[in-house]
């Protein structure tokens, strides 16, 4: 829970090498996640070679240029307020990339793989490594460059390294803004906690 609180996205990485062992440990953590019918639909493609990183970056930036030329309205404003553009230098700057893939035909493959990505983020935080879940706008180019078979989908690219990103963590909504009790619209606030806790210990008498 502390790791979740501390963890924030990093888009800038030191060129210092990292211990490859740490990356395998974080991915082994992901392998422990539950998945639809225990299908374990995750695959990981680890990229260290600078030439391969450059090709992946080029493929991604080609897609992003198209995306950024079309994006409009609120989302465009949000992207530029965050200083985001089609440029993805972290794909070359991070000492290592992990391409996270899912097996298309597996039950709940997207869901299972993203749950496992949650495990990876917390494991990397525990190891003192930074990352972001970069989702390329167009994935075909990357899959071609890396020879990934058609039956797998690219879910995210995780550049991994020592973070030198000085941005603070984006603020989060409080739980009472996103949680309800019993049925939609019935919120709870901190003031209601003692009552609910007491009710949980001494359940209300069942209505007939």
Q: Which helix (H) or strand (E) holds 156?
A: strand 152-160
The only residue of 58, 86, 93, 119 in contact with a second copy, by rule CB under 8 A: 119
Own/partner contacts of 61-65, CB < 8 Å, gap of 24 or more, are 61/86, 61/87, 61/88, 62/138, 62/141, 63/136, 63/137, 63/138, 63/139, 63/141, 64/88, 64/136, 64/137, 64/138
In whole angstroms, give the CA distance from residue 49 to residue 52: 5
The only residue of 42, 61, 64, 90 in contact with a second copy, by rule CB under 8 A: 42
- Cβ of residue 153: shortest distance to a second copy, in angstroms? 11
**Residue 1 or 166: which CB sits closer to a second copy?**
1
**Residue 89 or 118: which CB sits closer to a second copy?**
118
Instruction: Please provide the distance, in angstroms rounded to a whole number, between the alpha carbons at the two ends of the chain.
Output: 40
- Cβ of residue 60: shortest distance to a second copy, in angstroms? 16
The only residue of 70, 72, 150, 201 in contact with a second copy, by rule CB under 8 A: 201
- Cβ of residue 185: shortest distance to a second copy, in angstroms? 7
Contacts with a second copy, 167-186, as mask; x by CB under 8 A:
---x-xxxx--xxxxxxxx-
Verify binding: residue 58, a second copy, rule CB under 8 A. no
Verify binding: residue 43, a second copy, rule CB under 8 A. yes
Task: Considering only the stretches 58-66, 85-93, 131-139, report the one whose residues sit in contact with a second copy under the rule CB under 8 A.
Answer: 131-139
Return the closest-CA partner of residue 42 out of 147, 153, 182: 153
**Residue 44 or 164: which CB sits closer to a second copy?**
44
* Cα angle: 31, vertex 33, 35; to 5 degrees: 105
Contacts with a second copy, 2-41, as mask; x by CB under 8 A:
--xx-xxx-------xxxxx--xxxxxxxxxxx-xxx-x-
Q: Helix (H, G, I), strand (E, B), or coil: what is residue 159?
A: strand
The only residue of 48, 85, 87, 128 in contact with a second copy, by rule CB under 8 A: 48
Cβ neighbours of residue 45 closer than 8 Å, sequence gap 6 or more: 98, 99, 101, 146, 148
- Cβ of residue 189: shortest distance to a second copy, in angstroms? 11
In whole angstroms, give the CA distance from residue 28 to residue 69: 39
């Amino acid at each position: 829970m502390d790791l979740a609180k501390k963890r924030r996205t990093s888009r800038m990485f030191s060129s210092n090498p990292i211990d490859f062992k740490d990356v395998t440990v974080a991915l082994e953590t992901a392998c422990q996640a539950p998945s639809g019918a225990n299908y374990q639909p995750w695959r990981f493609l680890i990229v260290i070679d600078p030439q391969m990183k450059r090709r992946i970056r080029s493929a991604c930036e080609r897609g992003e240029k198209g995306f950024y030329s079309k994006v409009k309205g609120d989302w465009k404003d949000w992207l530029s307020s965050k200083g985001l553009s089609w440029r993805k230098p972290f794909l070359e700057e991070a000492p290592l990339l992990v391409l996270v893939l899912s097996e298309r035909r597996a039950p709940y493959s997207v869901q299972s793989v993203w749950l496992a990505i949650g495990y990876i983020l917390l494991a990397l935080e525990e190891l003192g490594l930074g990352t972001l879940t970069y989702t390329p706008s167009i994935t075909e180019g990357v899959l071609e460059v890396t020879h990934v078979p058609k039956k797998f989908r690219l879910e995210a690219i995780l550049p991994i390294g020592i973070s030198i990103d000085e941005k603070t963590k984006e603020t989060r909504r409080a739980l009472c803004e996103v949680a309800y009790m019993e049925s939609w619209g019935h919120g709870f606030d901190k003031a209601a906690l003692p009552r609910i806790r007491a009710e949980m210990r001494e359940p209300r008498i069942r209505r007939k």
